[in-house]
Amino acid sequence: MTQQNIITKNRDVSLDKIRNIGIIAHIDAGKTTTTERILFYTGRSYKIGDIDEGNTQMDWMEQEKERGITIVSAATTTFWGDVRINIIDTPGHVDFTAEVERSLRVLDGAVMVFDAEEGVQSQSETVWRQADKYKVPRICFVNKMDKLGASFENTLKDIIERLSAQPLPMVVPIGKESTFRGVVDLLTMQAYMWDDNKDATGIEFEKTEKIPDEVKTQVQEYHDKMIEVIAESDDNLLDKYFKGEEISVADLKAALRKMVIAYKVVPVYCGTSLRNKGVQPVLDAVVDFLPSPVDLEIIKGTDPITGEEKTRRLVGNEKFTALAFKIQLDPHVGKLTYARIYSGELVAGSYVYNVTKRQKERISRLLLMHANQREEITHAFAGEIVGLIGPKDTKTGDTLTDEGDQIILENITFPDPVISLAIEPKTKSDQEKLSYSLQRLSDEDPTFQAKTDHETGQTIISGMGELHLEIIVDRMKREMGMDVTVGKPQVAYRETVDRSIESEGKYIKQSGGRGQYGHCFLKIEPLGRGEGFKFINAVKGGSIPNEFIPSVEKGVIEARDKGALLGYPLTDLQVTLYDGTYHDVDSSDIAFKIAGSMALTDGARKAGISLLEPIMMVEVTVPDEFMGTIIGDLSSRRGKIQGTDKRGHSTVIKAFAPLSELSGYVTTVRSLTEGRGIPYMEPSHYEKVPGNLVEKMKLERV
């Protein structure tokens, strides 16, 4: 019987035997390699996938194989013992952070992978904060223990200092760097020893109570500390601890499980996935310490009618509830919607109600996913992550429920794009396909946006970074057969007002017959950086009829998106509509829309406008001899150096720098460091552009 058949036949496991987990990490920490070992050791695959050979199970896209990185999240199902583990492998590159965000939204637990030499890196912090946002319990795996400069202890310190977490070591490494050969389990006080000469796959290992002399003292110290931390969480165990009584491994596991689920501690393991050492204890930890749907008990949402809080029990005999968290346009099956089923049961061929869109959707087929492979099923149950074929209008973040008992689950929020570029098709036939292709891609990826610049007629696409847009253009060519010409990347500037002001907008038009009349007063106020846009209706006494208020708001939003200085969208401002007048006959929606637009544009110009630019948080890991060169180059790019960290034989330079100055920066760093520097960038915040540069940009626009 194949592994696929085993999974299909054993899908009816009880809810307490299900784990929905994600594998998350900074790029190059070994996340996909770890996932491949998990699939191999659990029997899901019969050959260990290798990133360099481009034959991994989870990185199935051609772009992933060519670049050796994960671009899209991939789901699969496997078994460890009698426990079913649903896994989502996520990207580590910051340009594809939306894949991590939406995956963590629907997962119950996560395995965080660290590079033992690099410790906690920038994207490690980003995905950790994302997991914190959704209160996802996690365990840590310190990978690459065989690497030069690897340090289990330094990584533990990093977790405390940079992630503000309480790590609890569950193993002690035996050997380090090239001599790393095993771990000691601190719960059972047994050593796991791998011998490369006997079994290169890492399946076979020696399990012994004989702890090597070199680590005996450290093992005892860590073991005693672990017992103390766990005992403090439970009165009964604490009583035994003070009396000097032995606490059973089963009791320790039960207490630790509660601590992990309550986010009080994070168990930490170590090994080297590439050399097939230390992954099996992580699988045991997933089963022992990460929550099942039963542990989480309920999910909270809101009643779509009353707006009050509403809950669903995470069980099969509740009303059906699911969250659509990913859309994929598959060449074989069409639109594929990934959904996490929280409660109830779903049958192929049935109808569900999309509460977000307020419409029925038919589920024609149900699929169990293994990366880009699929297996058709007839029923899906609470606790499962499945693919749905049939929904036409369902988008990422939509809630699907039973129509008779509706609930809206918390949506998924995504960051705004920071970089844009113009594209145009090379042939006239492709022009017709362009808008359709862009719509498909934006349906899949919420951080990808496309729009038409009405002044130039150009199509502008926006995303999270140069690599993100490069992949989008490559997919258009390969998957949709479109060849496009690409312009130079453009920074996503924003505009904001400098001070508060009151503004009037009046639109009157008389041209025979019925005229047009719209009149409004706005108060325009700056908000704190990053607070976005707010529109407040403060009209009293009916000075503007209620039916025209939305029209004023539409006009304000339209003017906001066009900007008032250089044509970039306005942000970080609050607009309050507080008064106006109307005409019984001539007032109309269009008149008030134009009045609202005029009031914002004129008011913003009178208030004074500042241009904002995206600032990137930059980290460059370089050999010590290149530190001065990189610092000098960053300073020349208007970078502000924040400090340096020593990691092994390298130095990590931290800085903030404007995105506009970082075009082609990856290539520059490699050139300046003989190919040995590793740059990392992620969007941080917006800051005002210096006045002299604004004037220069104005002149370039003339």
| SS3 at position 530 | coil
**Contact indicator for 396, 412 with CB cutoff of 8 Å:** yes
Residues in a beta bridge with 329? 335
Query: What is the spatial distance between Cα 106 and Cα 509, in angstroms, rounded to a whole number?
Result: 53
At which residue do the structure tokens 């809080």 appear?
Answer: 309
Q: Which residues contact 236 (CB under 8 A, 6 or more apart)?
A: none
Assigned token pair, 366: 């149900």
DSSP string, 370-393: ETTEEEEESEEETT-EEEEE--SS
Pairing mode, if any, of strands 321-330 and 490-491? unpaired
Query: What is d(CA 592, CA 604) in angstroms, rounded to the nearest whole number?
Result: 18
Binding-site residue ranges = 25-32, 89-93, 143-146
Q: Which residues are annotated as a binding site for GTP?
A: 25-32, 89-93, 143-146
**Greatest Cα pair distance in the chain:** 100
Beta strands in 149-205 (DSSP E): 167-169, 171-174, 182-185, 190-193
Q: How far apart are CA 128 and CA 83, in angstroms?
A: 26
Contacts of 584 (CB under 8 A, 6+ apart): none
Question: If 0-12 CB within 10 Å is exposed, 13-18 middle and 19+ buried, where does residue 515 land?
Answer: middle
User: Would you call 198 exposed, middle or buried from its count of C-beta atoms within 10 A (0-12, 13-18, 19+)?
Assistant: exposed
Handedness of CA 279, 283, 284, 285 (dihedral sign): positive
- Report strand pairing: 109-115 vs 138-143: parallel
Q: Which two tokens stand for residue 142?
A: 């310190």
Q: How far apart are CA 14 and CA 292, in angstroms?
A: 10
